[in-house]
Structures are given as C-alpha cells and as structure tokens.
Amino acid sequence: MDSPQDSSPDVPAVHEEAPREPILTLPVALTAYIALLALIHLRVLLPPELENWTIDVFGFIPKRYDSSLLNLQIPGGAGAKVWSFVTYSLLHANLTHLGFNVLWLLPFGSALARRFGAVRFFVFMAVTAAAGALAHLVTHEHAVAPMIGASASVSGAMAAAIRFAFARGSFLSFSRSDADTAAKVPALPLSCALRDGRVVGFLAVWFGVNIIFGVGAIGIDAETTSVAWQAHIGGFFAGLLLFALFDPVPRVRNDAADASSQDVSDRI
C-alpha cells in the first residue's frame, strides 16, 4: 500500500521585515524640553511692557550682584538672583535664536537624553545653564543687559555627548547601532577622549567658531547683540567635566580602556 502523500500545496515562507526606525525620533525628555522652550517663547505675544518685564525678571543680569549699586532697582528682587541662573536659558530673543539652539540640540541632546533619562537630563541642563551664567558673571560683572538663551546648556550637552559619541557603536562612529543602543555605549575616559583626534578636532572647531562669533560680535541676526561666548564655554566645560557625575552607564576596568575610541567606560 502506498503511503499517503501530503496533499497540502507548498506554501512559500513569509519573512517578516523588522520594523524600521523612523528617520528622526526624539526621546520624551528632549521633546518635553523643546516643547517647554516653545511654550515659553509665546511670551513674545505679550504687550511689550510685559514682555520686557519677563526678560528683566527671568533673564540673567550681572548688575543684580553688584553690591555697590544700592539704589539700582531691578525687577525680580532677591529671588531673581537665584532663579535667573537657570531661567535665562529658557528665554530666547526670537524664533531664529530659538531655532538655532534647537537644531544644535537635536543630535547631541537626543543622545544625551536617551543615555541619562529624564531626571538626569533636566538636572544636567540646569547645571550647565548655571555654569554658563557664572562664566558670564565673572567676565561681565558690570553688565546691565540681560543674557538669555539656551546656548550654554546646548554647549554642555554637546560636550557631554562627545565623551561617548565617537566610541564604537555610538552615534558618530562608523559602525553605529540603533539610537538607544548607540546612546548607551560605554564612554571614553576623559584622558583618552582628549587623545582622540576626532574629539580634538571637534573641540578645535567648536572653540574656533565661538571665538570668531564672540570676538567678532557676530549676532544671530542684525537685531541681536553679540554672542555671549563666555557663557557657551562655561556650559561646555561644565558638560565635559561633570558628565561622569550624571552618566548611569557602568564603568569598566581601567585596563580595558582604549584611546582609539573602542568600547570603553571609565570616569574622570
């Protein structure tokens, strides 16, 4: 007796394609930060007197801290001496100013927000903003003009990101992984990062651009004043040096570190 044959027709195997990641995906923390900046910028719709008042109260004004000016009345009082170290970074002069900062923040801030998580990310942005304000205060102790803008925090985010951006598998390496994995690769120790030619090149270009814009008094547009490049540098150094205090990715042994941008992780 012939054995029964399988009468079912051959069915071609179906291969399911892995879902593709969208070209631009932003972590929730960064999306919330950008939305906050945009919401606060709606203050430009206020009457001019009220808009100017918000800048005076929440912008960073070095003259607030001049103890010799007993008769100078600056809106905000004693409280503004504290909160303006951070709140100035949430204000922008115009849409060009806001858009310029957001564009720089998208690649570096996205990687940093994925790595740090929401709480660390927001605290980090506040700390680098305060560092930028302090640098501005030291170099402009008698200035009356308010300083506003997120550039110091953006600079801090860029500095922190380059601690791991060029490591193998990270978002600026030649063998990058998906966005979440790329943001979680072990970071370069600072001593190794500063011996990496790509990091040094990035630093040279960044400092060069800031000095040219600052010393040359090139503003965001014709209506703005000169760029507060000292605040940018203050935020940048804070991000570079304080990154290890915020980084949640576990470290590895010192002998596992590689100065040529391998997968490494160490703290300052």
Interval 200-245: pLDDT, tens: 888 998 888 877 766 544 333 334 456 788 899 999 999 999 999 9
- Name the pLDDT band for 251 (thresholds 50, 70, 90): low
Share of the chain above pLDDT 70, in %: 73
151 contacts 132 by C-beta, under 8 angstroms: yes
130 contacts 150 by C-beta, under 8 angstroms: no
Neighbours of 8 (CB within 10 A): 6
What's the pLDDT tens digit per position in 150-195? 999 999 999 999 888 877 766 666 555 667 777 788 887 888 888 8
Q: What is the distance between the alpha carbons of residues 48 and 104, in angstroms, rounded to a whole number?
A: 29
Which residues are registered as beta bridge partners of 147? 60
Q: In degrees rounded to 5, what are phi and psi of residue 60?
A: -95, 115
118-139 and 95-116 helices, crossing angle to 10°: 130
Mean pLDDT of 13-25: 47
From the list 97, 160, 91, 96, the residue with the least C-alpha distance to 123 is 160
- Name the pLDDT band for 69 (thresholds 50, 70, 90): low
- Name the pLDDT band for 197 (thresholds 50, 70, 90): confident
- Positive or negative torsion for Cα 130, 136, 140, 146: negative
SS3 147: strand
pTM over 0.85: no
Q: What is the distance between the alpha carbons of residues 37 and 117, in angstroms, rounded to a whole number?
A: 19
SS3 11: coil
Q: In degrees rounded to 5, what are phi and psi of residue 147?
A: -100, 130
251 contacts 186 by C-beta, under 8 angstroms: yes
157 contacts 232 by C-beta, under 8 angstroms: no
90 contacts 58 by C-beta, under 8 angstroms: yes
What's the mean pLDDT when you consider all of the chain? Answer: 79
144 contacts 169 by C-beta, under 8 angstroms: no
Overall size of the chain counted in residues = 268
Q: What is the distance between the alpha carbons of residues 68 and 66, in angstroms, rounded to a whole number?
A: 5
- Name the pLDDT band for 33 (thresholds 50, 70, 90): very high
